[in-house]
């Protein structure tokens, strides 16, 4: 091959490398971008007066008097709507029965949409579900609901050979010429007076429990549950994992077929699908060993520990193997025993590698859903105190993300909570990782310096 | 000395995590591990259980209730294994489940918390608004495969069913299929919410969900000319209706939290909750 073509090859390889890095970066951006933007929207958003009222009434936070004043101001603008509706209701009394029936149905639907937006009407009985006690707490949702007030979604089925086409029919058309007609332009023009949106940093999203199945409030129980499970799994897995690794590297005879078998088993264990671990955890820890009466943080941690054990063992093994032989020889030649050598020389030198393994497995444990479905996670539950972790199940981020997006009865209304949870989980894992990376760098630096 | 220095940051992290966070948790709520109720089972009954939990925890502070939604079949299994206090189910326990529970020393007692219709839903763009029971059965058994055969557009029907673990599946099987098999190439999803979402995003799809899961993004079909609504369920006209259950081990001891919770549906508030979520309360409380 001549020089020119070799250079050609070299250059094209460089280009390929840069390209693939760009593609990777792009993919990461496409993935993380929406997660961050939508996730942040869960706690940085334009909150309406309904939000502040909810906080004051249910969580007892915020300036009650100020909220009351603000509500009174909003009420001034709402009264006009309520008055228009009652005036129209009164005028319906004089209409024919057929007319009353037809328009009554339309009116009821309009009122229901308005209740979604503004909360119960004055004079309504107090609704029992919290989601019906308040209007829209978020401005972005309020705009959606406003459109539902102003337009009725209908489908045009005129073409029998195809699916219907969505048409937005202005409700103003239905009520044209009646006393209700001015309601729609009024609502459109005065929505911000009625709901008084204000940019809010809702940090309580991370520190409060949710009310009414995640309609209101935060995700603290989920965050705490994820923490418990992750830390618990690490606490169980790391001592066992590191000790096994030491044994496999330093003590076990590599020629012994039993040791080879154990190695194979560990590798196999690393490849077992996580749902199998979940079922194993249910069958073994809960139904067989009865570590707890029902699902619990303990059972979930144990299951996750079994899941990450092979990862920890493999990482620790590699790290210990990578310690230069001269270290060991020097220690032994100075008269240190095997155990002392391991404790004072090999383990500290292997620590950065072991930590890397722990970091990776921490991220894995925090994000796993399948192993905790049957052993630890519940879709609705409160904060679990440390003493209760032995017996109580907990909500956890990965499971509740799945639960909210697939099983919740009101998925569309609480999407932001789901995004917020995803963001928090990603952020948590990043935080765990960066802490450990920082730790590793520190230790490595000390080792070099010493 | 050196090893201690190395362990310092590690220990610090463990300490911070293991001590600081739970103390915050402890501060938020007193230790009240005894008054706990764990609920497991149907995704259909889930919204009722979650709303009951919310109401009960607020009116009885200090009670810790957890709800898992893993399917009716799992609820029955959990009750038999003694890992939950209440199994929520959208079908009655099967004879085999009763037997298994009995042999394990448990005595399941049924509480009917609400009535429910299995609503058959399609995308609102679908011009079809009514089916007969036979047509519905034919769709699910694979005899009817195109909406054109029902007077709709020329599109293959995307049949969404539920997993065998689901109580809604069992009820549908019994009430609609009459023992016949659902066609093998139908899609099975894990929950009511997932079935609804699948229909929301697929114009040619059909699925069945509990009444509380019908919202404006999907269209519930009339069956045999009867629309699915609380009124038609209460009057007994809607053909695919079934009760929703909570099972406890034995009748709960009077005066306990478990007793109050398992009979909440008989109180006025309980029935109001059931109705607000979109299911049918067992009596006329108003």
Distance of alpha carbon B158 from alpha carbon B204, whole angstroms: 6
Instruction: Give the CA angle between residues A355, A361, A364 to the nearest 5°.
Output: 150
Nearest residue on chain A to B85, alpha-carbon basis:
A294
Distance of alpha carbon A35 from alpha carbon A42, whole angstroms: 11
B198 and B160 inside one domain: yes
B125 and B235 inside one domain: yes
Q: Residues of chain A whose pLDDT is less than 50?
A: none
For residue A82, the cross-strand partners are: none
CB contact under 8 A, A379 and B81: no
Question: How confident is the model over B260-268, as a mean pLDDT?
Answer: 91
pLDDT on residue A160: 78
The CATH number of the domain holding residue B254 is 3.40.190.10
With contact defined as beta carbons under 8 Å apart, do B9 and A439 qualify? yes
ipTM of the complex: 0.81
B179 and B225 inside one domain: yes
Fold of A220-449: MetI-like fold (1.10.3720)
pLDDT on residue A243: 92
Tokens representing A15 are: 């280009």
Question: How confident is the model over B155-175, as a mean pLDDT?
Answer: 90
For B116, phi then psi, to 5°, come to: -145, 145
pLDDT on residue B13: 54
Tally of CB atoms within 10 A around A431 = 12
Instruction: Give the CA angle between residues B202, A40, A25 to the nearest 5°.
Output: 80
CB contact under 8 A, A380 and B66: yes
Nearest residue on chain B to A379, alpha-carbon basis:
B68
CB contact under 8 A, B31 and A411: no
Give how far B85 is from chain A: nearest CA, Å.
9
B256 and B215 inside one domain: no
pLDDT on residue B19: 45
Give how far A11 is from chain B: nearest CA, Å.
45
CB contact under 8 A, A378 and B155: no
Interface test with A, best of B26, B37, B38 (most A CBs within 10 A): B38
Tokens representing B243 are: 């009760």
B107 and B249 inside one domain: yes
CB contact under 8 A, A231 and B18: yes
Measuring CA to CA, which residue among B69, B62, B61 is closest to residue B87?
Answer: B69
Query: Which of A127, A391, A403 comes nearest B33 by C-beta?
Result: A391
Distance of alpha carbon B76 from alpha carbon B100, whole angstroms: 10
CB contact under 8 A, A129 and B67: no
CB contact under 8 A, A388 and B38: no
pLDDT on residue B151: 87
Q: Which residues contact A84 (CB under 8 A, 6 or more apart)?
A: A179, A180, A182, A183, A186
Measuring CA to CA, which residue among B2, B5, B45 is closest to residue B212?
Answer: B45
B268 and B216 inside one domain: no
Largest CA distance in chain B: 84
B77 part of a folded domain: yes
Question: Is residue B34 scored above 80 in pLDDT?
Answer: no
Nearest residue on chain A to B64, alpha-carbon basis:
A382
For residue B159, the cross-strand partners are: B206
Report which DSSP code applies to A286.
I
Instruction: Kindly indicate the confidence band of residue B285, based on its pLDDT and cuts at 50, 70 and 90.
Output: low
pLDDT on residue B33: 41
Mean pLDDT, all residues of chain B: 85
Mean pLDDT, all residues of chain A: 89
With contact defined as beta carbons under 8 Å apart, do B92 and B246 qualify? no
Report which DSSP code applies to A377.
B
CB contact under 8 A, B55 and A385: no
Percent of residues, chain B, with pLDDT higher than 90: 52
B266 and B165 inside one domain: no
Question: Is residue B222 scored above 90 in pLDDT?
Answer: yes
Helix, strand, coil shares of chain A as percentages rounded to 5?
70, 5, 25
Tokens representing B216 are: 């404006």
Residues in chain A: 450
Task: Please indicate whether residue B35 or residue B248 has the higher confidence score (pLDDT).
Answer: B248
Give how far A417 is from chain B: nearest CA, Å.
16
B129 and B234 inside one domain: yes
Give how far B24 is from chain A: nearest CA, Å.
9
Instruction: Kindly indicate the confidence band of residue B30, based on its pLDDT and cuts at 50, 70 and 90.
Output: very low
Distance of alpha carbon A243 from alpha carbon A313, whole angstroms: 8
Q: Which residues contact A326 (CB under 8 A, 6 or more apart)?
A: none
B9 part of a folded domain: no
For B64, phi then psi, to 5°, come to: -115, 110
pLDDT on residue A145: 92
Angle between helix axes A347-367 and A220-246 (nearest 10 degrees) is: 140
- Annotated domain spans of chain A: 49-199, 220-449
Largest CA distance in chain A: 108
Instruction: Please give the residue range of the domain that contains residue B256.
Output: 36-115+243-277
Highest mean pLDDT among A388-397, B4-13, B218-227: B218-227
pLDDT on residue A21: 96
pLDDT on residue B286: 63
pLDDT on residue B5: 52
Interface test with A, best of B3, B21, B28 (most A CBs within 10 A): B28
B198 and B98 inside one domain: no
A-chain residues near B205 (CB < 8 A): none
SS3 of A166-225: the string is: EEEEEHHHHCCCCCCCCHHHHHHHHHHHHHCCEEEECHHHCCCCEECCCCEECCHHHHHH
Question: Is residue B168 scored above 80 in pLDDT?
Answer: yes
Give how far B182 is from chain A: nearest CA, Å.
23
Highest mean pLDDT among A234-243, B76-85, B172-181, B182-191: A234-243
pLDDT on residue A175: 85
Distance of alpha carbon A414 from alpha carbon A419, whole angstroms: 9
B122 and B235 inside one domain: yes
Question: Is residue B27 scored above 50 in pLDDT?
Answer: no
B28 part of a folded domain: no
CB contact under 8 A, A382 and B22: no
Strand B158-162, strand B108-122: pairing: unpaired
SS3 of chain B: the string is: CHHHHHHHHHHHHHHHHHHHHHHHHHHHCCCCCCCEEEEEECCCCHHHHHHHHHHHHHHCCCCEEEEEECCHHHHHHHHHCCCCCEEEECCCCCHHHHHHHHHCCCCEEEEEEEEEEEEEEECCCCCCCEECHHHHHHHHHCCCCEHHHHCCCCCECEEEEECCCCHHHHHHHHHHHCCCCCCCCCEEECCHHHHHHHHHHCCCEEEEEEHHHCCCCCEECEECCECCCHHHHHHCCCCCEEEEEEEEECCCCCCCHHHHHHCHHHCHHHHHHHHHHCCECCCCCC
CB pairs under 8 A between A and B: 172
Residue matched to tokens 């930590």: A355
Percent of residues, chain A, with pLDDT higher than 70: 100
Tally of CB atoms within 10 A around B69 = 29
CA A395 vs CA A166, A295, A377, B126: distances in Å:
39, 11, 5, 38
Distance of alpha carbon B200 from alpha carbon B214, whole angstroms: 11
Tally of CB atoms within 10 A around A449 = 6
The string of pLDDT tens digits covering residues A340-382 is 899 889 998 898 889 888 888 888 899 899 999 888 888 888 8
CB contact under 8 A, A163 and B33: no
Measuring CA to CA, which residue among B132, B221, B219, B142 is closest to residue B187?
Answer: B142
Listing DSSP states for A52-97 in one string gives HHHIIIII--S-HHHHHHHHHHHHHHHHHHHHHHHHHHHHHTTS-H
B226 and B271 inside one domain: no
The string of pLDDT tens digits covering residues B86-111 is 999 999 999 999 999 999 899 999 99
Distance of alpha carbon A343 from alpha carbon A337, whole angstroms: 10
Question: Is residue B284 scored above 80 in pLDDT?
Answer: no
Instruction: Give the CA angle between residues A241, A225, A435 to the nearest 5°.
Output: 55
Give how far B224 is from chain A: nearest CA, Å.
21
Overall number of domains in chain B: 2
CB contact under 8 A, B2 and A344: yes
């Amino acid at each position: 091959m001549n020089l020119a073509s070799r250079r050609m090859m070299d250059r094209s390889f460089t280009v390929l490398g840069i390209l693939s890095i760009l593609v990777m970066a792009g993919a990461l951006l496409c993935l993380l971008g929406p997660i961050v933007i939508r996730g942040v929207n869960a706690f940085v958003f334009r909150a309406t007066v309904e939000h502040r009222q909810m906080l004051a009434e249910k969580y007892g936070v915020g300036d009650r008097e100020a909220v009351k004043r603000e509500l009174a101001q909003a009420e001034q603008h709402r009264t006009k709507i309520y008055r228009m509706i009652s005036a129209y209701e009164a005028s319906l009394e004089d209409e024919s029965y057929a007319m009353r029936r037809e328009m009554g149905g339309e009116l009821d639907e309009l009122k229901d949409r308005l209740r979604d937006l503004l909360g119960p009407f004055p004079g309504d009985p107090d609704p029992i579900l919290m989601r019906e006690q308040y209007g829209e707490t978020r401005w972005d949702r309020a705009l959606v609901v406003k459109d539902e007030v102003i337009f009725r979604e209908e489908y045009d089925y005129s073409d029998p050979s195809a699916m219907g086409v969505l048409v937005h029919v202005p409700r103003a058309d239905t009520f044209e010429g009646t006393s209700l007609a001015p309601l729609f332009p009024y609502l459109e023009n005065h929505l911000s007076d009625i709901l008084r949106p204000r940019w809010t940093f809702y940090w309580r999203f991370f520190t409060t429990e949710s009310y009414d199945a995640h309609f209101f409030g935060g995700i603290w129980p989920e965050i705490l549950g994820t923490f418990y499970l992750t830390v618990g799994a690490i606490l169980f897995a790391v001592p066992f994992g590191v000790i096994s690794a030491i044994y496999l590297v330093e003590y076990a005879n590599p020629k012994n077929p039993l040791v080879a078998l154990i190695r194979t088993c560990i590798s196999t264990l690393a490849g077992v699908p996580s749902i199998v671990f979940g079922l194993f955890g249910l069958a073994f820890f809960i139904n067989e060993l009865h570590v707890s009466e029902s699902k619990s943080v303990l059972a979930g941690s144990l299951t996750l520990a079994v899941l990450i054990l092979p990862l920890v063992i493999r990482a620790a093994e590699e790290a210990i193997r990578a310690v230069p032989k001269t270290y060991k020889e020097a220690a032994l030649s100075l008269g240190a025993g095997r155990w002392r050598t391991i404790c004072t020389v090999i383990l500290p030198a292997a620590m950065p590698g072991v930590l890397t393994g722990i970091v990776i497995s921490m991220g894995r444990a925090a994000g796993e859903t399948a192993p905790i479905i049957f052993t630890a996670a519940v879709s609705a539950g409160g904060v679990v105190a440390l003493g209760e972790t032995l017996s109580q199940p907990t909500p956890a981020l990965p499971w509740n993300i799945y639960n909210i997006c697939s099983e919740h009865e009101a998925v569309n209304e609480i999407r932001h909570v789901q995004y917020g949870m995803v963001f928090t989980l990603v952020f948590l894992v990043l935080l765990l990782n960066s802490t450990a990376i920082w730790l590793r760098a520190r230790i490595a630096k000390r080792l070099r310096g010493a | 000395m050196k090893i201690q220095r190395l362990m310092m940051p590690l220990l610090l992290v463990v300490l911070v995590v293991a001590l600081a966070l739970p103390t915050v948790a402890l501060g938020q709520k007193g230790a009240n591990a005894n008054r706990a109720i764990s609920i497991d089972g149907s995704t259909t009954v889930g919204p009722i259980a979650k709303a009951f939990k919310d109401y009960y925890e607020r009116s009885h502070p200090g009670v810790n209730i957890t709800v898992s939604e893993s399917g009716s079949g799992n609820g029955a299994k959990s009750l038999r294994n003694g890992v939950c206090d209440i199994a929520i189910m959208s079908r009655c326990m099967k004879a085999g489940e009763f037997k298994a529970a009995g042999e394990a020393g448990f005595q399941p007692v049924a509480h009917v918390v609400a009535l429910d219709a299995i609503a058959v839903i399609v995308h609102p763009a679908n011009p079809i608004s009514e089916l007969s029971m036979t047509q519905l059965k034919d769709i699910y058994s694979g005899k009817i495969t195109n909406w054109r055969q029902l007077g709709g557009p020329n599109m293959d029907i995307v049949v969404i069913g539920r997993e065998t673990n689901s109580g809604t599946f069992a009820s549908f099987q019994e009430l609609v299929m009459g023992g016949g098999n659902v066609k093998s190439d139908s899609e099975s999803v894990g929950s009511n919410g997932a079935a609804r979402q699948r229909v929301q995003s697929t114009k040619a799809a059909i699925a069945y969900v509990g009444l509380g899961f019908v919202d404006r993004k999907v269209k519930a079909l009339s069956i045999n000319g009867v629309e699915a609504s609380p009124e038609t369920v209460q009057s007994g006209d809607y053909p695919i209706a079934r009760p929703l259950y909570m099972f406890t081990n034995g009748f709960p001891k009077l005066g306990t939290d478990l007793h109050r919770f398992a009979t909440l549906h008989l109180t006025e508030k309980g029935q109001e909750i059931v109705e607000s979520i979109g299911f049918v309360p067992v009596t006329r409380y108003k």
